[in-house]
Chains A and B, each alone.
Chain A
Amino acid sequence: MEFWITRAFRLALTLFVVVTLTFILLRTSYDPVVAMLGPDATAREIEMFRSRWNLDKPLFDQYLAYLGNAIRGDFGNSFRDGRPVFVVIAERFPQTLWLGGVSYVFAIVIGVPAGILAALYRGSIFDRAIMVVSVVGFALPNFFLGILMILLFSLVLQILPSSGASSWAHIIMPAFALGLTLAGILARFTRSAMLEVLSKTYMLAAEAKGIRPVRRAIFHALPNAALSVITIMGLILGNLVAGTVVVETVFAWPGIGRLLVTAISSKDLAVVQALVFVIAAAMVLINLAVDLSYRMLDPRTRRSS
């Protein structure tokens, strides 16, 4: 019970700090109305829009009103198009979920087995090849990889659509661009975790008992390496959102990453604030899920907490 109370308190505190800091930073850094209406707007127009969005009120009053509404789940209306922010985000969220989900599965299916195999065949050409590919995948910026893929598969070979999200073929390039980086990270961490476990004495004992290598790897080494791998899987799941910002822009994928970029460039404060909140909430929940998985996988964690 104490575990849950502590976690819930931390979660609420983190989100409160995020909402407050985001509000203060965005509202004090520039005048969103001038930035939004552009260079030709008259003083009268600026005043009318400021009043319409309650930006003419004292900052503290604006903050209290915003916080009160946020607690009730109301993040206001988009400055861009006047629609509720919740609707604007909900419209885009499934696309990001779809892209992120495919990339994540791709990363796990490729990255984890590659890391295990690299560890089992440590020092071999196979190990080196996997590590070279994973370093390249990790180091190559996904916007660069994305543009290269567009040039190759859309421009030269003309076998994949260059942008958009209207068919299954549209997801191949963005999911690969996003997933390759994640697979690279996962492969490296899985390899390290496996190598550490493989050097333990209980693995030597298992070998001495005559257990076959595949069985040793899957049933003895992998569960013990899982804690590190799950930690990194949680982290990359959180980083997926940051990754989609770039990939969604390159491939014109209509998800929340693109929405965030558009909202920032068009000074749509209401949407930016809500998106930062959503992303922070996702990160906090993912961390919570990782903590819970520790408790499930490792009895020592349950006992110590």
Chain B
Amino acid sequence: MITRRTLNKSLMSVSALALASAPTALIAQDRPAIRIAVDNLWRTMAPLNGLSTTGNRININFYEALTEVDWFNDPSGATVIPKLALSWKRDGNVWQFKLREGVMFHHGEEMTAEDVAFTLSHERLRADDAYEPRGAIFSSNIVRVEAVDRYTVEIETDSPDPNMAQKLSNHHAKVVPKAHYLEVGVDAFGQMPIGTGPYKVTLFRPGEVMTMDAFEDYWGDQPAAASLEWRIVPEYAGRIAGVVAGDYDFAVNVPFDQQEQVRGYDNINLINTVAPNYVMFAFNTRPDPEDNPLVDVRLRHAMIQSVDMETIVKVLFGDETFFPTIPFNFPDYGDFYDPDMVDPHPYDVEAARALIAETDYDGEELIWHITRGFYDNYETAAEIMIAQWAEVGINVKMVVVDNFSLAYQRPFHLLNMSNGTDFIPGDPYRPLWLDWNPGSTRASADWKVWDPTDKFVELGEKFVKAVEFEERRDAYLALSKEWQDVTPGMYMWKRLFSYVHRTGVDWAPAAGEMRMYGNYLTVS
């Protein structure tokens, strides 16, 4: 029989239950929808076909790799932590990865070792008709990938590879659902990507907008935002005005010379962060054109020594970034980095003049191909450098073109480019070997700028096979010295990314990635 007392008891129980569940419900309800004004969205969001600054910036929110660089606790980017893989071990050429259980893809299926094996497979990355051929360069030493059981994957390499776990934090290891990927094909997959990340893509209109909702079945903590909207606002002024006016919570890419003005607004924060990428130029060291004066290494060294790059970088960027005095001796590389290393080619105008006097160079015009506006402040830096070269009698002409296709057209003597450093976090493999080896574009494309010396190739192979740290460091030093003896380029500064966000949001950048989850984003 229902009495007033039992009714009250029942109501109290229901109320208690409601109160107990309230925090979760409130948190879910109160999470804000975050809007981000971006300069562009890449044409496809497939993990590798969509490799780009504008794709990599956001795809970390819906894809996950086996491991992840911990930018939050180690802003140098040298620390890798478990993500979809919980543990790993190596036995000779074979790595075994134990996967996290209960991880769901956004379309409701559980991630298994089969999906991981497909993600890293020959069929997807390295075959002649691979779905995402850009993955070959990241996985060239993999000879076998196999699902041992539902949550265990074995990866065999052609020689012992101590860095596999670090490498698997990269784009080629962002796990895709095998069956769905094969069913829809890589183009359609890139238009509505499915991963295991904390956000699920709900709409993608390339050239306009991408929206995501927090993924309810995510294996980790729920992110601080209920949804994300990434909308293209091409004009920088429009992006900033949007954040100041409250239309957007974040905006990207504030030109450095506009930052002082942006700092004047009191309801937004400006963040500059360096990226794992160095802006540089390459010397064309080859006799193409036939009379190329830069085939003489002394002239190349003279050009390096006659430019006061440290001051140029200071003038253009203040203390926000720096000139890496000695190539590959980058602070990103933990124990490989030696702050006391002596620069073999320091800024020294007299030494430069003496070197030029030893050559046959007689003021011939050297053409520098530059892609318009691709790197912030590049053209300005080039103007100063050209003036400094003119001081020692070197005649450089800047030719600014609209895209890389035009920049690559010969003849040229100098060519703008940049060099990523992040393939193996904390290891100089990528900038020193991956991007300069005989198979790299710089040594094999129509526009190639150098022919690696026999010594460079020999030392490089030794470096690649080095397993223990001391052995690897010695090999790296020898390889780096050979590169500097040849000097096929000059590293200018570490690339900067800039962001603004409204106050009331706490956010930590992860270099070029905008991670909107975990410790990276909190909203008050």
Counting chain B CB atoms within 10 Å of each CB, the highest count among A48, A79, A81, A266 belongs to A81
Closest to A157 in B: B245
Closest to A80 in B: B43
Closest to A49 in B: B133
Using an 8 Å CB-CB cutoff, how does the interface string of B105-135 with A read, 1 for contact, 0 for none?
A: 0000000000000000000000001100110
CB–CB B43/A266 < 8 A: yes
CB–CB B238/A250 < 8 A: yes
Closest to A271 in B: B207
| A162 beta carbon closer than 8 Å to chain B | yes
CB–CB B417/A39 < 8 A: yes
A161 partner, pick from B133, B247, B420, beta carbons under 8 A: B247
Question: Which one of B158-166, B398-406, B503-511, B516-524 contacts A?
Answer: B398-406
| B445 beta carbon closer than 8 Å to chain A | yes
Counting chain B CB atoms within 10 Å of each CB, the highest count among A41, A91, A268 belongs to A41
Question: Which one of B93-101, B228-236, B386-394 contacts A?
Answer: B228-236
CB–CB B441/A252 < 8 A: no
| A251 beta carbon closer than 8 Å to chain B | yes
| A254 beta carbon closer than 8 Å to chain B | yes
B129: A residues at CB distance < 8 A: 48
B246: A residues at CB distance < 8 A: 158
| B241 beta carbon closer than 8 Å to chain A | yes
CB–CB A155/B405 < 8 A: no
CB–CB B231/A252 < 8 A: yes
Shortest Cβ distance from residue B101 to the other chain A in the assembled complex, whole angstroms: 35
Closest to A152 in B: B241
Per the 8 Å Cβ criterion, residues 74-105 of A in contact with B are 78-83, 91
B133: A residues at CB distance < 8 A: 44-45, 48
Shortest Cβ distance from residue B432 to the other chain A in the assembled complex, whole angstroms: 16
CB–CB A147/B237 < 8 A: yes
Per the 8 Å Cβ criterion, residues 475-503 of B in contact with A are none
CB–CB B232/A252 < 8 A: yes
CB–CB A252/B234 < 8 A: yes
With A35-B403, A81-B190, A147-B235 in contact, do A163 and B247 touch (Cβ < 8 Å)? yes
B52: A residues at CB distance < 8 A: 38
| A230 beta carbon closer than 8 Å to chain B | no
Counting chain A CB atoms within 10 Å of each CB, the highest count among B134, B137, B439 belongs to B134
Using an 8 Å CB-CB cutoff, how does the interface string of A36-74 with B read, 1 for contact, 0 for none?
A: 001111111110100000000000000000000000000
Using an 8 Å CB-CB cutoff, how does the interface string of B183-226 with A read, 1 for contact, 0 for none?
A: 00001101100000000000001111100000000000000000
With A150-B241, A250-B238 in contact, do A80 and B403 touch (Cβ < 8 Å)? no
Per the 8 Å Cβ criterion, residues 110-165 of A in contact with B are 147, 150-151, 154-155, 158, 161-164
Shortest Cβ distance from residue B436 to the other chain A in the assembled complex, whole angstroms: 13
| A284 beta carbon closer than 8 Å to chain B | no
With A163-B37, A266-B43, A267-B405 in contact, do A82 and B187 touch (Cβ < 8 Å)? yes
| B337 beta carbon closer than 8 Å to chain A | no
With A155-B241, A261-B234 in contact, do A34 and B408 touch (Cβ < 8 Å)? yes
With A32-B405, A43-B441, A252-B238 in contact, do A163 and B233 touch (Cβ < 8 Å)? yes
| A249 beta carbon closer than 8 Å to chain B | yes
CB–CB A254/B241 < 8 A: no
CB–CB A44/B136 < 8 A: yes
> Bound complex: CA of A83 vs CA of B208, how far in Å?
15
Shortest Cβ distance from residue A50 to the other chain B in the assembled complex, whole angstroms: 12
Using an 8 Å CB-CB cutoff, how does the interface string of B131-148 with A read, 1 for contact, 0 for none?
A: 001101100000000000
Per the 8 Å Cβ criterion, residues 421-475 of B in contact with A are 439-441, 444-446
> Bound complex: CA of A266 vs CA of B37, how far in Å?
19
| B44 beta carbon closer than 8 Å to chain A | yes
CB–CB A158/B245 < 8 A: yes
> Bound complex: CA of A39 vs CA of B369, how far in Å?
13
A254: B residues at CB distance < 8 A: 205, 207-209
| B244 beta carbon closer than 8 Å to chain A | yes
With A31-B405, A41-B134, A81-B43 in contact, do A164 and B247 touch (Cβ < 8 Å)? yes
| B324 beta carbon closer than 8 Å to chain A | no
With A43-B441, A163-B247 in contact, do A267 and B237 touch (Cβ < 8 Å)? no
Shortest Cβ distance from residue A254 to the other chain B in the assembled complex, whole angstroms: 4
| A237 beta carbon closer than 8 Å to chain B | no
User: How many residue pairs at the A-B interface have CB separations less than 8 Å?
Assistant: 125
| B82 beta carbon closer than 8 Å to chain A | no
> Bound complex: CA of A297 vs CA of B461, how far in Å?
82
Per the 8 Å Cβ criterion, residues 1-39 of A in contact with B are 30-32, 34-35, 38-39
| B346 beta carbon closer than 8 Å to chain A | no
A251 partner, pick from B137, B238, B417, B440, beta carbons under 8 A: B238
Shortest Cβ distance from residue A238 to the other chain B in the assembled complex, whole angstroms: 24
CB–CB A41/B237 < 8 A: no
CB–CB B207/A80 < 8 A: yes
Shortest Cβ distance from residue B204 to the other chain A in the assembled complex, whole angstroms: 9
| A191 beta carbon closer than 8 Å to chain B | no
CB–CB A267/B205 < 8 A: no
| A188 beta carbon closer than 8 Å to chain B | no
CB–CB A162/B187 < 8 A: no
Shortest Cβ distance from residue A193 to the other chain B in the assembled complex, whole angstroms: 37
| A262 beta carbon closer than 8 Å to chain B | yes
A249: B residues at CB distance < 8 A: 234-235
A35: B residues at CB distance < 8 A: 403-406
Using an 8 Å CB-CB cutoff, how does the interface string of A250-282 with B read, 1 for contact, 0 for none?
A: 111010001101100011100000000000000
A150: B residues at CB distance < 8 A: 237-238, 241
Shortest Cβ distance from residue A158 to the other chain B in the assembled complex, whole angstroms: 5
Closest to B416 in A: A39
Closest to A150 in B: B241
Using an 8 Å CB-CB cutoff, how does the interface string of B29-56 with A read, 1 for contact, 0 for none?
A: 0000000010010011000000110000
B444: A residues at CB distance < 8 A: 42-43
Counting chain B CB atoms within 10 Å of each CB, the highest count among A48, A147, A155, A267 belongs to A155
| B411 beta carbon closer than 8 Å to chain A | no
A259: B residues at CB distance < 8 A: 207
> Bound complex: CA of A224 vs CA of B107, how far in Å?
66
> Bound complex: CA of A80 vs CA of B191, how far in Å?
10
With A34-B404, A163-B37, A267-B403 in contact, do A258 and B245 touch (Cβ < 8 Å)? no
> Bound complex: CA of A30 vs CA of B401, how far in Å?
11
CB–CB B403/A30 < 8 A: yes
> Bound complex: CA of A30 vs CA of B404, how far in Å?
10
> Bound complex: CA of A161 vs CA of B129, how far in Å?
47
- Measured CB to CB, the residues of A under 8 A from B are 30-32, 34-35, 38-46, 48, 78-83, 91, 147, 150-151, 154-155, 158, 161-164, 249-252, 254, 258-259, 261-262, 266-268
Going nearest first, the 10 A-B pairs with the smallest beta carbon separation are: A80-B43, A82-B187, A35-B405, A34-B405, A30-B405, A252-B233, A35-B403, A162-B242, A254-B208, A154-B245
> Can you offer 6 A-B residue contacts whose CB atoms are under 8 A?
A80-B43, A154-B247, A155-B241, A161-B247, A163-B231, A251-B238
Further pairs besides A42-B134, A46-B445, A162-B242: 7, Cβ < 8 Å = A30-B405, A35-B404, A150-B237, A162-B238, A164-B231, A250-B235, A252-B231
